[in-house]
Amino acid sequence: MVAWRFLIASGLMLGASTALANLQNISVLYSRGDYPGAASAAFQLYSSSRNIQEKLNAGFFLARSLQALDLPYSASRFYGAIVRQGPGSNPFFRQSFEQLGQINSTVSLGQAQIVQLVSGRNGTINTEAIPGSARGFYYYYQGVENFDDRKYEAASRAFRGVPGGSPYYLRAQFHLGVIANLQGQHSQAISYFSSVASGARRDDDGDHLRNAAIMNIARVEYETKRFNEALMQYGRVARDSDLWLDAQFEGAWAFFMIQKHNNALGNLHTVLAPFFENRFYPESYILQSITFLRLCKFDETKDALEKFRDRYRPLFGELKKLVTEYEENKRGFYKLVYDFRSGALSRYREAWPLLDALSRTDAFREGAIAIRNSDSELARLSRYGVKWSSSGLQEELRGFLGKKKSLASDEAGRKLFQKLNNQRDYLKDLSRQTEFINAEMLLNRVDALRASLRVSTADKRINFIGGFQTLNLSQELEYWPFQGEYWEDELGYYVYNLASSCPSSSKK
């Protein structure tokens, strides 16, 4: 009750008996647990008053009442309005900022809404006014905004300001790892990612963050040509992670680079399995073809190239249609990806693997969370229709949640459409590579191509089996026998057993 006594005391300073009576009435309703009544009365005062202190009092009562009714998005609308007034002569600035941080850590407000909060009406908020418990929230999103604008030094300063006990700390460390790698500080990047992997919680969000950190360690190792170390990291990615198939594909490239061609083909056998027929890995056919080419398996090389063309040539026409249809309708493009993810899409079948890839991005997930939470709150608003319709609160909240859905769709659609264009360029590049590989094979210039792909000699004492595990010298190498069949439990553990068909003079 301390906070509510403070509210009433603030009301006394207004010098308006009507305002004081209204605040007292709202306080009584709240203390009785009549949160719908308190919210309705608070909104009436909030929307009718022109006195800033009255609005702050009423707005804070209103936000707390909505939060008590399990309407966190709706509450954030009024906490946000209080925060945007700035800390000066604002008794509820600190508490509102804290509540926004707590809400975001549980239901994710979305970057578009949060960006409005990390700067005040007249510029950046004085950080001394930010309460300690909310500084992680504030600094993290300051960092994200600068990171998206590629202002990496400013982003690093902000991410380093996130306190160790904050729920945003590990996400800040993850971004610091990305920035360190972009700046060529590879050891520092691995250190950041390692701290994230070891500190992530054991829940869905924590598991995803842990596996993403491990993947990035592997990518840094690969980038610095420590391919064996990269393979060990790829092997740590959990099989039930959405990133596991990425680890299989990227691990195939690492195997290729250390000339473990049978292991590379084994990983690709998993990536191209019927279990994953709707996943988007066009480059897997390219890697498969040049791996066969290194072994002078020309029929297999030609077959891999033909499979690429058969599978992805029809997609070019679909991509052209998608770009034409949604160039000026990014919200509609988000809806298209959403319909695919929910199983409601019957069009653009050739593009389904690409739509699947888009539906697995952070941009799509953030938009889906905002829309799902908004829809959930819109449904709950109907419980208070009679009581809130007369005050206008029902209409206000429906408008806010509807706008939030639209903004989430627009922002996610814009990002997804950009990724669509990037993937179209990527496919064009891969298509050109197939022509180059085919020409080299037909011209019998295999040696020239193999020389252009040569890497430093790997440690010949190290052998690998499927799943990226090091082979013990006392262990026999077991090859899974397969004649085109796929066993789900064995995916990720296949290894080919092909000898090179190249003339002995050109074997590497």
Instruction: Fill in the DSSP letter of residue 349.
Output: G
Closest CA to 388 of 72, 35, 80: 35
Task: Domains for the chain: give ranges and CATH numbers.
Answer: 1-108 (1.25.40), 316-452 (no CATH)
Given a cut of 70, whether residue 488 has pLDDT beyond it is no
Q: What percent of the chain has pLDDT over 90?
A: 55
**498, amino acid identity:** L
Q: Which of 189, 231, 229, 239 is nearest to 213 (CA)?
A: 189
In angstroms, the CA 213 to CA 220 distance is 11
Mean pLDDT of 161-185: 93
Q: Which two tokens stand for residue 466?
A: 């499927």
Say if residue 464's pLDDT is above 60: no
Tell me what pLDDT residue 508 has.
Answer: 44
Helix (H, G, I), strand (E, B) or coil at 129: helix
482's CB contacts (< 8 A; 6+ apart) are 269, 494
| Segment 327-340, tens digit of pLDDT | 999 999 999 999 99
> Residue-wise over 75-109: b if at least 16 C-beta within 10 A, else e?
bbbbbbbbbbbbbeebbbbbbbbbbbbbbbeebbb
341 band by pLDDT with thresholds 50, 70 and 90: very high
Whole-number Å distance between alpha carbons of 307 and 144: 41
What are the φ/ψ torsions at residue 464 (nearest 5 degrees)? -130, 145
What is the rounded distance in angstroms from the CA atom of residue 248 to the CA atom of residue 241? 12
Specify the range with the lowest mean pLDDT, choosing from 149-153, 156-160, 285-289, 438-442: 438-442
Is residue 30 predicted with pLDDT exceeding 50? yes
With 70 as the cut, is the pLDDT of residue 10 above it? no
The pLDDT of residue 430 is above 60: yes
Alpha helices in 49-115 (DSSP H): 52-68, 72-83, 93-107, 111-115
Residue 461: what pLDDT? 36
Computed over every residue of the chain, the mean pLDDT equals 83
Average pLDDT of the segment spanning 230-239: 93
What pLDDT score was predicted for residue 89?
A: 83
pLDDT of 480 reads 38
Does 151 or 277 have the greater pLDDT score? Answer: 151
Alpha-carbon distance 209 to 325, whole Å?
Answer: 35
pLDDT tens digit sequence for 77-117:
999 999 888 888 888 988 998 899 889 888 888 777 777 66
Q: What is the pTM of this model?
A: 0.81
Express each pLDDT in 50-82 by its tens digit. 888 888 989 999 999 999 999 999 999 999 999
What's the CA gap between 332 and 122, in Å, rounded? 35
Mean pLDDT along residues 268-284: 90
The model's confidence at residue 446, banded by pLDDT at 50, 70 and 90, is low
Residue 178 has pLDDT above 70, yes or no: yes
Q: CB of 233 within 8 A of CB of 217?
A: yes
pLDDT for residue 378 is more than 80 = yes
CB–CB of 485/254 below 8 Å?
no
| Choice between 312 and 18, residue whose per-residue pLDDT is larger | 312
Question: Is the separation of the CB atoms in 53 and 14 below 8 Å?
Answer: yes
Q: Classify 183 as helix, strand or coil.
A: coil
DSSP SS3 for 206: helix
Helix (H, G, I), strand (E, B) or coil at 123: strand
The token duo for 445 is 């210039």
Q: Dihedral, CA atoms, 426, 432, 433, 439, nearest 10 degrees? A: 170
CB neighbour list of residue 61: distance below 8 Å, 6 or more residues apart:
7, 23, 26, 27, 30, 38, 42
